[in-house]
Chain A
Amino acid sequence: EVQLVESGGGLVQPGRSMKLSCAASGFTFSNYGMAWVRQAPTKGLEWVATISYDGSSTYYRDSVKGRFTISRDNAKSTLYLQMNSLRSEDTATYYCTREATVAFFDYWGQGVMVTVSS
Chain B
Amino acid sequence: DIQMTQSPASLSASLGETVTIECRASEDIYNGLAWYQQKPGKSPQLLIYNANSLHTGVPSRFSGSGSGTQYSLKINSLQSEDVASYFCQQYYDYPWTFGGGTKLELK
Contact = CB atoms under 8 A, between A and B. Distances in A.
A69 B46 CA distance: 26
B62 interface: no
Contact of A102 (B50, B94, B100): B50
Contact of B96 (A44, A103, A107): A103
22 contacts: A44-B87, A44-B98, A44-B101, A46-B98, A50-B96, A59-B94, A59-B95, A62-B95, A95-B44, A102-B32, A102-B49, A102-B50, A103-B96, A104-B89, A105-B44, A105-B89, A106-B49, A106-B55, A107-B46, A108-B43, A110-B43, A111-B43
A103 B50 CA distance: 10
Contacts of B32: 102-103
Contacts of A62: 95
Query: Chain A interface: which size bin?
Result: 20 to 34
A61 interface: yes
A111 B45 CA distance: 12
B104 interface: no
A45 interface: yes
Contacts of B44: 37, 45, 95, 105, 108
Contacts of B23: none
A100 interface: yes
The 6 closest A-B pairs by CB, nearest first: A104-B34, A103-B91, A47-B96, A108-B43, A45-B98, A104-B49
Contacts of B65: none
Interface string B8-50: 0000000000000000000000001010100000011110011
A104 B98 contact: no
B97 interface: yes
Interface in A75-118: 95, 100, 102-111
